[in-house]
Structure 1
């Protein structure tokens, strides 16, 4: 099993894949939950739908630790949906425990290659003098099978290099960078190909490869 430390867990977490034949129980990990894009419009237009969503996907799972709720990326509905979800969490007394946010699509990056030259477009947060807004990398990973350059060796190298880098952040945002690895489990009900093989573990909980979460 992967080795973990308290220091590294602050910066690195794991995303559960959604299409599995089975999932293990009682892992005591913290999760990030997102809203299905087809639900955004009704969540944005009806606060009662947001309350029902919170009940069905959070309150009905009292033994699960949720860290973030992610709403998006449909720009027509993001703001009212976020407001309704936040208000529903507040009514449930969870607004300080579960943070509500949204995702940013890769299109906001004006320069993406090489990565060291990455720059956002002029209308993004930093250009708007909002550089102190917390940013979380909501998913990143590498497939271990199913396509070109998808291999266990490449996946292991990518994840371990990622862990090294999130400890120090970037030149523009030094310090621990909260990052979610996609994904914890291979998703054996997805279509054949790389989509099935992003997990650190197989659905039967056996590791696809070992990972040193200490970053040493």
Structure 2
């Protein structure tokens, strides 16, 4: 049967609409970090099933874990796996150790969708000296295994590596180890992983930062910076990273937000309602990118569960979207 051009166009448009509705931007943009510092957490397989039931398609874990790897096989859930901080010195100085690490913790698990290897998390000062050496050797091992480009290699940094962050366009890297890392990422086509927490910025500067600006609920522009206007702190923080990358010669380096979240108890403005507001708005927002860099911004919420064995401030034990019994701390929609 012949079909008019207008009817054909309408059918194509309808098909595209259905495809987009079935695969909303927010789901594609959002993963959830899976911390395991608790003595009351569900089994690894039950945790992975919870990810699947909520439509969460990406996960970060903070070190190799055989039971998690086995539970992830065949699920299609994309994974960031960390090289723990205490392992970096041995890898930085020994290519064979890096090859063994990749063989034992990546190549041994067919069916796991490894996406990124984060070589260290939030290392600063002298502790950061081994990042670049370990990254380069892990990257060489990945490439030697024929997975070059399939699995990205980076490091996860804290926002403290930046300096002069107000306004965003003033930002530079204040940590001396970042220049060579940016150069490595540029040359290898890998992104920078950054942990971005408007909560901590707000909690430490309540006299200068408005709560609505931190929670994505400000009704208008709060910060003007040249051609860009900011109505939320998250965008300003991420754009600060982009500006610092440009000034370090890494304008082509992408950014992945490897952690962001808001605690529901334990500190300033840590209510269940504020945690829900921040994380739901984050999910709804990141598919659009930032004023400086439009498009999908891959982001990982911290964290899946409240972890009762985390050290530090009380807030550290209350970042979970779920209680250890898998019931939600608050209602949140990943779709």
- Number of the residue aligned with 1:166: 286
CA contact (8 A) 1:143 1:151 kept: yes
Note closer, same or farther for the CA distance 1:59–1:141 as it changes in structure 2 (3 Å cut).
Answer: same
Matched, 1:79 2:132: yes
Higher Cα Rg: structure 1 or 2? 2
- Number of the residue aligned with 1:147: 267
Q: How many residues align?
A: 208
**Shift in Å, 1:38:** 1.2
- Number of the residue aligned with 1:134: 254
Matched, 1:177 2:195: no
Matched, 1:18 2:69: no
CA contact (8 A) 1:12 1:181 kept: yes
- Show structure 2 runs of 5+ residues with no match: 1-21, 50-74, 174-178, 180-243
TM-score w.r.t. the length of structure 2 is 0.56
- Number of the residue aligned with 2:324: 203
- Number of the residue aligned with 1:104: 157
> How many angstroms apart in 2 are the aligned matches of 1:203 and 1:57?
26
> How many angstroms apart in 2 are the aligned matches of 1:62 and 1:188?
32
> How many angstroms apart in 1 are the aligned matches of 2:163 and 2:102?
36
Partner-residue secondary structure (3-state), 1:94: coil
CA contact (8 A) 2:259 2:300 kept: yes
- Bigger proportion of residues as helix: 2
> How many angstroms apart in 2 are the aligned matches of 1:111 and 1:10?
32
- Number of the residue aligned with 2:115: 67
TM-score w.r.t. the length of structure 1 is 0.83
Partner-residue secondary structure (3-state), 2:290: coil
**Shift in Å, 1:146:** 2.7
CA contact (8 A) 1:141 1:182 kept: yes
CA RMSD of aligned residues (A): 2.4
> How many angstroms apart in 1 are the aligned matches of 2:279 and 2:145?
36
Q: Which moved more, 1:127-136 or 1:56-65?
A: 56-65
- Number of the residue aligned with 2:148: 95
Residue number among 68, 86, 107 corresponding to 1:38 in the alignment: 86
**Shift in Å, 1:63:** 4.4
